[in-house]
Structure formats: C-alpha cells, structure tokens
Chains A and B, each alone.
Chain A
Amino acid sequence: MSVGEITHIGRPTNRVDGKLKVTGQAHYAAEYPADDLLYGYIVGSTTAAGRIAAMDLDAARQFPGVVEIFTHENRSKAAWLDRSWRDEVAPPGHPFRPLNSDRILFDGQPVALIVAETFEAARDAGSLVRIAYDVDAHCTELEAKRAEAYVPPKKRSGIPPPPDPRGDAEQAFQDAPVKISRDYRINAEHHNPMEMFATTCVFEGDGKLTIYDKTQGSQNAQGYVTSVFGLRSKDVRLVNQYVGGAFGAGLRPQHQLFFAVMASLELERSVRVSLTRAQMFHIGYRPDSYHTVSLAADRDGRLQSIMHDAVASTSHYEDYQEAVVNWSGMMYHCDNVKLTYQLAKLDTATPCDMRAPGAAIGVTALECALDELSYELGIGPLEIRRINFASKDENTNKQFTSKALLECYSEGAAAFGWEKRSPKPRAMKEGRELIGWGVSTGMWDAFLQKAQATATLKVDGTLEVATAASDIGTGTWTILTQIGAEAFGLPLEDVQARIGDSTLPMSPVEGGSWTAASNGSAVQAACEAVKHSLFKQARKMANSPLADASFEDVEVRDRRIFRKDDPARGLSVFEVMHAAELTEITEQGKVSPNLRQMLKYISYTNSAVFAEVRVDEDLGVVRVTRVVCAAAAGKILNPKTARSQILGGVVMGIGMALHEEAMTDHRLGKIMNANLGEYHVPAHADIEDIEVIFVDEKDDKVSPLGVKGLGEIGIVGTASAVANAIFHATGVRVRDFPITIDKILNAPRPS
C-alpha cells in the first residue's frame, strides 16, 4: 500500500508535537533564553478597594540585585484612550491599566513591579515593599448585590443577549398541571492552567521586540502591545508556540505581558515576568452566579413554560457578559419562554471566559431543573429530554445545520447501560455506597470565524502550512498537519505546521472551540490554492501529460501530480517546480462565516452526558465512578485528540460538580484558598472511567471542513449529570455547586 492511500483526516493520530512535549523540549513562554535577562516580580495590593496612601520602597530598592521598581508614580507613558487598551475580547467598560493610578479596584491588583538580575532577588525584594492603603468599603459577595443587579446597557460583542420572550411564559406556567421553580447557585471558579501566565520580552534593539507570551491569541496580544505602547506593528513579534493550558484565561492579555514589555522598553533589556500561582487567582475567573429556573409541563411531559433568571458577577470597571440563559430557550421545544440575565458589580477583577462560558453554568441550572421536573412528572429523565427535542433554534427560528442529539441519547444510553436504571432514587446500593445514575444534555456553539492561512509546497515535495492559530493542548499542531498531509497525500513527517506567531496569517484567538473549523478550513483552502497553482504550472510544461486535463481530472499525492484515471500520466512536484524555476509555491487561503447562510441556519455541537456516582451517604463522600459522554460534532478530524478534549472537559465538569470554589473572605475581599492545595481541581484518584463516543454526524454547512469543534462541549452538562446522579442515588437534591461533603450531610433527608 503506498503512503498515498492513507487518509489522515478522521484517523486517530499521535500529536506531532508529542515528542517535544514528552522530552521537555517544547518551550513555554518563560523558557526562552535571552542575553542579560532581567526578572520582574509583581507585587499585588492587599486590600480590595481604596487608594495607595504611602509606599516605602527603600529596602526593596536597596536589595542586592534590584535594578528598578515601577509603580504608578513612575510607570512609563502608555496610551491615553481606553480604546487602545481594549483587546479583541474585551467586554464593554474601561480596560484595566496596570499601575495607572493609586486607586485599588480588587485584591491582588498589581501595584508594583520589581525588576532584578535574578528571580530570587526580584521576588524577595518584593516582600520588602511596604504599602499603606486608605481602605474603602468593598463588596465581594454576589448575594449582597443581587438587589442591585442590572441588565448591561452595552452588550458585549459576539455575545447574544437573552432573546425576547416568546409566548406567555408566566401564564403558561400558571396553567400547566406540573411545575417546579428552583434556585441554583454555582460558585466562582478559576481557570488554573498548569502553566502560570508568563512573558519573556526580548529586547532586540532597533526598536524591535520579540515577545514570548502565554496567550490564546498571538495577534490579539501583539495588537494590545503595539496599541498600548504606541509601537509599530512590524517591530513587534509575539510568539506562543506552546501554551500550558488556558481554558479561556489567555483570551485577553494578562498583566504580566504589560509589565514585561514596559520594563523592557524602559530598561532597554530583555525582561521575563511570570505570575505566581497565588496571582493566578487575581485575574479573570468564571463568575459567581445565581439562577432561578421555572419549568412547567403537561402530563405527557411536554414543556409548556420555561423561565430562567440568572445573575452573575462582574467588576466595577467592565461589564463582563456571557450567554448564560440563552441555552434554556433553545435546548428544548417550548412556545412560552422568558429569560433574563443580569449583572452585579463586585470589587473583583473582571471575570474572563472559562471553558464554555455561560453554558457551563446556565445549562447546569437548566438540566438540574429538568431532572427535578421529570421526577414530578414520573417520566424518566432521558425520556423527558427526548420528548422535548427541539428541531430548530426557537430563539432565532433558524434551522440547525445538524443536530444528531437523539443519536447521542441512544448511543450514550446504550454504552452506559441506562436501560437497567430503576426510576426511583435510592434503589441501588453496594457496600456502604448508594449508586445513582444521572443524565444531562449538553450544547455549545459551533462557530466559524474569519481566518487566513498560507500553504507552501517546496520543490522537494514537502509542505508547510501556516496560520497564527494557537495550540493550548487542543491539538492544533496536529490537525493542521493532518489537513495539509491529506490535501497533498503526504506522510505527516513531510508536513510542517507553523502556528503560534503573530507574524503568520491572520487568526482569531483560540477559543470558542472554533479553531479546528476556522483555521483548519483556511489551511485547506490554502492547500487547494497551491494545488491549483501547481496544476497551472504542470499544464504549461512542454509535452505536459496534463496539458488537456482539467483540475478535477488530476490528483496530487506522494509528491506527484497525475491523472486520476491514469496515474502513470503525471509529473513529479520536483519536475514541475524545476521547470518553472520555482523553489516553492505559496498560496493563501481564507475562510469567513457565510453571512447569507447565517440568516437561515445556525450551528451547535450537541451531547448527552451520563454519569454514575457512588455516595457514602453517612460520610457525605461522593465518587464519580463512570461517565459516558456521547457528542455529535460533525466530522472528527482526529479521534485521538478529540477524545482527549472531551475527557478534559468532563474532568473539569466533575471539578465543577464536586470540588471547585474560590473561598472568599468577604470581610477582607480576599480569596483565601488562592493555591492549588486548597482550591481543589480533580486529582488522578478522583477520575475513574470516562468513555467518549462520537456519533456520526455530517454537516456540510457548519464549516468547509464539516467540523464543529470539541474543546468545550465536554464540560457542558457534566456537572448537572453528576448532580442528577447524586439525587438518583440518595433522593437528596443539592442545588449549590460544588456539591461538597457538608452539603450532602446538611441536605434535608428524603422522607
């Protein structure tokens, strides 16, 4: 079998960056060497609101190795207008400007940067900085601010506000025979990728900077730098080839980027700044939220009314928004829907998108409520979801480009063994543990964003594809390599992807699960364009065997271009380029959303999550022992990396269900568990069996590749599936996440 017969798309493929990662050769932002490197260490405020009254920097200044200390008093000039500080992802409001003034907006706000010859000198001089504050009253408690919740006047670009009400949800709720109205609360979470935010800014001289940054968007970050510091775009190159996880926190530039660049420009040296793990809790986070979900149905289980009201936290200086309640209007068929979403201002940093922002919390609340309704009705929780299947997006009246959700339900249920489930809670027990099975639907956007790529075919027949996309663990390096290899019938080793560099063709930030669809499609388009050019050159050659062929007649494979119907009639890539005196052929590819299509169609990824928990009711200990996640995500480019994305989302969903919460001391306005020892993300021992199923789904509209994106769907619905399983096990409903031991112990027992 010739190598050309292998297809790469759809084949489980080892990551092309795998060897670098397992040998420690992949470099992350704080790992690039530079001559005469200086280290910056950020000092954060110890009050949540107020003003800096006095600063004593003498001891810090005199500390051996310290080169400079920057505060609001000597910060270098930076852009004047908010607009210059507003990155692509910024919500409405005033973007935070480090060291802008003596005013404190949140606990841990950067108030000084120590720059020194060694990391230790910078850090330890930092602890000698003495700052006195005029402390103002603050509020970090969402509960206390609910009465002042408001609808944000200016909407966040790209985030649809809740749709207008349809039908008469209040009346329908009154009239329906079976109904529930419940309150849910989901605690604030912090992204906590394993790599802390870091920037190494290399001062190249001549006004040029090469910046190695931890970010989800090299171009967004580069744009921020040039606009904040008034630099020319061609003088600043920002590189993010390897990113140690981000989950949304890297969508916006984080303040170490500002500090590294500022110090570098001021001191005319290379500077590295890394946040500490504690400082990772003083940046954006998934907001705290309260939800009231009211559902009513007829006795056959058909939803008659859906009402979902949510309040979430934001900062005082920006109106951070997510699509929280919109899902409740489109996940199921219902003619009477009323959704509200409000914000309340807290003295915290502005929240920042965290894996499936909005859906991770909104769908959790809805799916728990739907589960509760199913028991009121005496209809199985899977059955009620089937009954209320929505065949179009009733928020917008658009058609789904595809929705194999019913297959997710049936394939997932079959794999899980759902048919063996007894309808009543507390029916299954083993040893000291009650066993429960819960289900939830999941849904997430399947966007296509504008993206560009280039493909370069070299005279030796190898290929390079390039786009300024990022790989934050999502597998971008690999799928782009696969797409290129597939287009030219090459082995993976003959294809080099280039990503993670702001100088590469235009790319959106890596987020929203849109990279595979967008950058992937752009790469494919670029490859097609190269093949066209190659073909043109091939036809032009003297005595070309392809002289009378059309483009559709030929194939490019194994470094040859030949007639499909007679493979012997062809030319090698080398021959073609040599004859044309070319060393390479480079073409561009672009993709952008089909606005016309979007008038009528809309795309989502759908899933069904089944969870088994074992609850030691006496001691309140919950274990998630089995999860099956069945997802319909269109074409799966790489089942191996795709599965990993789902696994990761499910793990994070388990964390939301059982473990994660920022514990704030509201008297102090301070997160007290700002470390990985007390902010609990799931550990190895917490994760048992997780099975991932990709149901067949063809979608020729969602993106040119037919791909939907999988980075986020795994978390959506997982926490609710776990909570629903806990109810099924114990008959106890906990509506406050995370569902920790005390909440199981304190919950009212079923009578």
Chain B
Amino acid sequence: MNRFEYIRPATVADAIAALNEPAARALAGGTNLVDLMKYDVAQPSRLVDINRLPLKSIEITPSGALRIGALVTNTDLAWHRDVREKWPILSSAILAGASPQLRNAATAGGNLMQRTRCYYFYDPSTACNKRQPGSGCSAIGGVNRIHAILGASDSCIAVHPSDMCVAMAALDASVEVEGPDGKRSIPMSGFHRLTGGEPERDNTLKGGELITSIIIPKPDFGAHHTYLKIRDRLSYAFALISVAAALRVEEGIIQDVRIALGGVAHKPWRDFDAEKSLKGERVGTQSFTQVADFILRDAKGQGDNDFKIELARRAIVRALEQAAAGTPQDQADKSLY
C-alpha cells in the first residue's frame, strides 16, 4: 500500500474537485479499493473519502422508478422493502454476492466500480495490460478458469465480477454522474466497457466524475424473474456464470424479456437482438434453448474456461424456466429450482 493523501469532502462539488486528478480515487466502503491497495494494484496518491456525502437515500421517483443513492450499502439496498417488493431480482442478485459483512460496507456506486478478480490483475509480478497497458495478458494461455467467453480481446480476457450489476443491466438501469463538466446520465449498457484496445479502462467515466445515483425504471415482471448464480462453492464465491432473467408473459407468449449474464465478459452481457428474437415466442425449453444458442453464438473459450460456454447455455435455459414458472431462486436454498 502506498502512502497517500486523505481528504474528506463535505459536498459533492468538493469531492469532484478533489477527484479531478489522475491518481485520485474515491473511497466509499473500501471493500474493493482497500483490497487492491494492499496488493499494490491500485496506488492512488489521494484518497477522497466520500462517506459524508448526501448520497445515501433510496426513493421512488414520481414516475415510479427507483433512485438509489451511490452510497447506499448493498445490504440496505437488498433488504429495502420497496426493492424486495418491486425489484426483487435486484435484491436477489445482491444477496447472491459476497458476504453479509462485505454487503454491509460495499456501496451501490462502489459495486459498479469494482474491478476484475483476474488472478494476474491482482499479481503485480505478472504481465497485465489492464494494470500496465502494453505489458501483455498473462491470462491468455494461463490459468483462465474464471475468465471471459464473450466479448474478449487479444489484450484482455477479464470478467466483471459483480452480481448487482448484472441485475441492474437486466433492469435497464442508468447511472447518474456528476463531474467537472456537469451532470450526465449513462445507461447501464454503456457504463461498463468491453476491453477493445484499452483494457485499462473498465468504464466510460471521465476524469473527476463521481457516481451520485442509479435510476432503475419501474419493472413489469411480477414473479417472473430470477437471479441464478453458479459457482465453485455454494456461497462466498464469485460467479462462474450468473443469469438475471425476467419475463412478461401473456397466455404463454413472451411479451418482454431481459437476459443479462455475469461471469462471461468484461461487462454484464445483454444481447438486445437475442431478447428481441424471443419476443412473440412461446414460453418453453425450445425457445429458451434457441435464445441461449443465439446469445452464445460467438462464445470463445480460453482453455480452462471452455466449460463455461455449455454451462452458460444451460444456465440461461434454467433461469428462463425459473422465471417462466414464477419460481425465482432463493439464494439461501442451495437446490437449484
């Protein structure tokens, strides 16, 4: 951990000013940043402690959308009565992640910002284009069980590890940010990036921008949703594959569908063409399998993670079946429905 300056701004404007410097980082719950600093992966020269900022409320907007302050803890968000009732897939996804201790400290904004768990990213003695552009990607040809099968590049095959983000992606969330150039709203699908030629950039935030809240529109899926997470042990582990699936069905015909995948790419994976292709189809294994095949049409394994392709296929089908049946996976129940 390097030596750094510690600042505690009282207002969002002060925070933005303090963050407007390349090696400054915002400190909220610290559950990812402090960890990265201990590994010397993150080495901010200035830590801007934003925990005093007034970004802690959860409210329902006049249009019935959910507005989540960036500093709302994962626990508070997951157990909020309105969230449990109206955005249950979000609650379920959050509760599938990490541990209660981590959820009590981690914030919504921090969860969006969390970095990959790639073993090489975390080990500064290895080559990593994300840490050091141009140095190479050790995961390619290396131990890559937990790495990407979709949207990867020659320079980086890392995966975004969040559960919350997968549900938010499925729900068409948008991220409200404020920066030196003012406020803007970034749709969830445009917040996290694929690596392309710049693996060092996880998201589309500009310098000095601070996440202030996340907006989630009013959903319309009733009980037809699920968050299904498959991992190497039954709890306290990152996803090999996760699926956030939600359906609106009328008389057996799919009216609306959301499918977002975790554990497969540098960002939560939503294939809008795939979702479109499912609209108007009949609920059932056949259409579910077809859409899974479609979503995974360009899937590419890296060796250790080849199995993820078939696993993802089956997990998508299973998740859609759960959603169709209105039996969302209970995260404490380890038999998968």
Contacts and interface: CB of A to CB of B under 8 A. Distances in A.
Question: Are A and B direct contacts in the complex by CB distance below 8 Å?
Answer: yes
A667 B142 contact: yes
A680 B232 contact: yes
B107 to A, nearest CB: 20
A56 interface: no
Contact of B141 (A667, A680, A682, A746): A667
A665 B142 contact: yes
A685 B234 CA distance: 6
A669 B65 CA distance: 52
B335 A668 contact: no
B314 A619 contact: yes
Contact of A745 (B126, B145, B311): B311
Contact of B138 (A127, A668, A673): A668
A89 interface: no
Interface in A635-690: 658-659, 663-665, 667-668, 670, 672-673, 675, 677-678, 680, 682-686
A663 B143 contact: yes
Given A677-B117, A746-B307, A124 B335 contact: no
Contacts of B40: 127
- B interface secondary structure, majority: loop
A21 B162 CA distance: 36
Contacts of B307: 620, 741-742, 745-746
B220 interface: no
A619 B230 CA distance: 8
B142 A616 contact: no
A670 B143 CA distance: 10
A618 interface: yes
B337 interface: yes
Interface residues of B, number: 37
A740 interface: yes
Interface string B1-13: 1110000000000
Contacts of B337: 431-432
Interface string B300-337: 00000001001100110010000000000000101111
Nearest to A120: B1
Given A683-B236, A745-B311, A621 B336 contact: yes
A664 to B, nearest CB: 7
Nearest to A654: B233
A616 B337 CA distance: 9
Given A124-B1, A619-B230, A686-B234, A745 B143 contact: no
Kindly name the residue among B125, B126, B310 whose own CB sees the greatest number of chain A CB atoms within 10 A. B125
Contacts of A663: 119, 143, 145
A65 to B, nearest CB: 11
B315 A623 contact: no
Contacts of A326: none
Contacts of B238: 677
A467 interface: no
A46 B120 CA distance: 13
Given A667-B141, A677-B117, A745 B310 contact: yes
A563 interface: no
B99 to A, nearest CB: 9
Contacts of B146: 678
A619 B233 contact: no
B41 to A, nearest CB: 11
B117 A683 contact: no
Given A616-B335, A665-B138, A686-B235, A124 B3 contact: yes
A619 B322 CA distance: 14
A676 B47 CA distance: 27
Kindly name the residue among A123, A621, A672, A677 whose own CB sees the greatest number of chain B CB atoms within 10 A. A672
Interface string B199-225: 000000000000000000000000000
A672 B234 CA distance: 21
A609 to B, nearest CB: 20
Contacts of B332: 685
A620 B117 contact: no
A712 interface: no
Contacts, number: 98
A614 interface: yes
Contacts of A683: 233-237
Contact of A620 (B123, B311, B334): B311
Contacts of A665: 138, 142-143
B240 interface: yes
A699 interface: no
Kindly name the residue among B40, B126, B233, B310 whose own CB sees the greatest number of chain A CB atoms within 10 A. B233
A189 interface: no
B335 A672 contact: no
Interface string A110-125: 0000000000100110
A471 interface: no
A433 interface: yes
Contacts of A618: 314, 318
A684 B235 contact: yes
Given A664-B143, A680-B233, A619 B315 contact: yes
A671 to B, nearest CB: 9
A649 B318 CA distance: 35
Contacts of B235: 683-686
A693 B2 CA distance: 53
B125 to A, nearest CB: 4
B87 to A, nearest CB: 24
B335 A686 contact: no
A678 B240 contact: no
A623 B142 contact: no
B314 A621 contact: no
Contacts of B237: 677, 680, 683
Contacts of B232: 659, 680, 740-741
A741 B311 contact: yes
Contacts of B336: 432, 616, 619, 621
B137 to A, nearest CB: 13
Given A619-B311, A672-B120, A686-B235, A614 B335 contact: yes
A124 B335 CA distance: 45
Given A123-B1, A741-B311, A682 B233 contact: yes
Nearest to B308: A742
A620 B307 CA distance: 10
Contacts of A746: 307
Nearest to A126: B40
B334 A623 contact: yes
Contacts of B142: 665, 667-668, 672
Contacts of A431: 335, 337
27 contacts: A120-B1, A123-B1, A124-B1, A127-B40, A431-B335, A431-B337, A432-B336, A619-B314, A619-B315, A619-B336, A620-B311, A623-B234, A659-B233, A663-B143, A663-B145, A667-B142, A668-B138, A670-B123, A670-B125, A670-B126, A672-B119, A677-B237, A677-B238, A683-B236, A686-B235, A741-B232, A745-B307
Given A619-B230, A685-B234, A745-B310, 13 more contacts: A127-B1, A432-B336, A614-B335, A618-B314, A619-B314, A658-B233, A665-B142, A672-B123, A672-B142, A675-B122, A677-B237, A683-B236, A686-B234
The 6 residue pairs across chains A and B that have the minimum distance between CB atoms: A685-B235, A46-B125, A742-B307, A672-B119, A685-B234, A672-B143
